């Protein structure tokens, strides 16, 4: 999929979102402005606002509006706020191949700037009168989901007992929930009926799960060029879909042995290569790919109730792109 063509398709709406984000962050404190500019210059593909604009157009005869733009901008502000906080929680020195704010300015600054972006996201939603109350509840739930997902992941890392059910809850809370907020708020912004709203929700949740599963697959099968070193999740004691697939394919005694290695990896970083090999030799990546494909198919199927349009086609393309992306 050509992201450049998608941005050209979104046209003035895309530029309006970018401008709304910059305007929302403006401050009379130069250090804050320069820090925000640095973050924006390495903001990635901004998939969540893309989804917002596409979903609004798909539900409304190809037309988004100013409310859509506000919600789309809010989704990106909230996403970046969580990344700033995550970098502190995970001790991340790089993101997308660039030094994090935490590594350059310290954890306190990263948390404070993350808080600033979070508040600006909420302010954007509150400035919109129509449907703002329901949308505020959606984004508030997402914030709760993010916190719960982070704590559940930490708890499971300490215990080494993550199940597939636990894993799916964690990645729903930490990734799919914000996809859901972006798409559902977009549908509401253009007055979509409840059938379309539920389709937006189903698409976003399935896409968000697929997106995170692919990210976790790359931790075992990618290269260091994708933006994080191979095995980074294992070093953080995270048991993700590829490892779960491999664990399910071996006798319980061996699975318990590997789980203990994950739990003890902080003191034995050499276990990383052993676990990477274990996953590759026990079809863990194949299992994760099968689950990824299932969620991509669910996302595409959820769009069936929407009328055919170029925006809908891009939503379908984004779902398949998620399964093929290299980073």
User: Tens digits of per-residue pLDDT, 287-321?
Assistant: 999 999 999 999 999 999 999 999 999 999 999 99
Task: Tell me the mean pLDDT in the region 252-264.
Answer: 96
Q: Is the pLDDT of residue 11 over 70?
A: yes
Cβ-in-10-Å burial (0-12, 13-18, 19+) of 164 comes to middle
Range of the domain at 102: 3-324
- The Cα–Cα gap between 102 and 95 comes to 10
pLDDT number for residue 327:
40
CATH of the domain at 317: 1.10.600.10
Provide the domain count of the chain: 1
| pLDDT reading at 156 higher than 90 | yes
Model confidence pLDDT, tens digit, residues 209-257: 999 999 999 999 866 545 557 888 999 999 999 999 999 999 999 999 9
Classify the phi-psi angles of 283: left when phi > 0, otherwise alpha if psi is within -120 to 50, otherwise beta: left
User: Is the pLDDT score of 96 beyond 90?
Assistant: no
What's the rounded mean pLDDT across residues 80-104?
86
Average pLDDT over residues 261-275: 95
Contacts of 233 (CB under 8 A, 6+ apart): 216, 219, 240
Instruction: Return the pLDDT at 42.
Output: 84
The Cα 284–Cα 267 span in angstroms is 25
Average pLDDT of 188-199?
97
Low-confidence winner among 73-87, 121-135, 216-230, 304-318 (lowest mean pLDDT): 216-230
Q: Do 209 and 175 contact (CB within 8 A), yes or no?
A: yes
Quickly state the pLDDT bin for 132 (edges 50, 70, 90): low
Categorize the per-residue pLDDT at 323 as very low, low, confident or very high, splitting at 50, 70 and 90. confident
What does each C-alpha distance from 223 to 3, 211, 215, 217, 276 come to in angstroms? 22, 18, 12, 11, 13
Gap between the Cα atoms of 153 and 237, Å rounded = 9
User: Whole-model pTM?
Assistant: 0.93
Rounded Cα distance between 175 and 195, Å, is 23
Using 50, 70 and 90 to split pLDDT, how confident is the model at 133?
confident
């Amino acid at each position: 999929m050509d992201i450049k063509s998608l941005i050209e398709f979104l046209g003035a709406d895309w530029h309006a979102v970018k401008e709304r984000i910059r305007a929302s962050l403006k401050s009379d404190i130069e250090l804050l402005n320069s820090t925000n500019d640095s973050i924006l210059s390495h903001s990635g593909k901004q998939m969540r606002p893309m989804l917002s604009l596409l979903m609004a157009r798909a539900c409304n005869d190809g037309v988004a509006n100013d409310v859509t733009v506000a919600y789309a901008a809010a989704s990106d502000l909230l996403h970046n706020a969580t990344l700033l906080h995550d970098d502190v929680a995970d001790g991340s020195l790089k993101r997308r191949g660039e030094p994090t704010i935490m590594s350059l300015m310290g954890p306190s600054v990263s948390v404070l700037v993350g808080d600033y972006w979070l508040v600006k996201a909420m302010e954007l939603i509150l400035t919109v009168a129509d449907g703002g109350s329901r949308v505020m509840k959606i984004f508030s739930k997402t914030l709760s989901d993010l916190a719960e997902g982070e704590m559940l992941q930490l708890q499971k890392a300490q215990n080494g007992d993550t199940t597939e059910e636990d894993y799916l809850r964690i990645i729903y809370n930490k990734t799919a929930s914000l996809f859901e907020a972006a798409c559902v708020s977009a549908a509401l912004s253009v007055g979509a009926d409840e059938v379309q709203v539920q389709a937006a929700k189903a698409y976003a949740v399935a896409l968000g799960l697929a997106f995170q599963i692919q990210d976790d697959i790359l931790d075992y099968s990618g290269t260091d060029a994708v933006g994080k070193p191979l095995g980074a999740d294992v070093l953080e004691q995270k048991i993700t879909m590829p490892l779960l697939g491999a664990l399910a394919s071996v006798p319980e005694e061996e699975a318990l042995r590997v789980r203990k290695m994950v739990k003890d990896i902080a003191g034995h970083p050499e276990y990383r290569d052993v676990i990477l090999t274990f996953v590759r030799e026990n079809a863990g990546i194949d299992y994760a790919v099968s689950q990824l494909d299932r969620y991509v198919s669910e996302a595409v199927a959820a769009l069936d109730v929407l009328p055919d349009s170029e925006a809908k086609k891009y939503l379908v393309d984004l779902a398949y792109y998620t399964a093929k992306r290299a980073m």
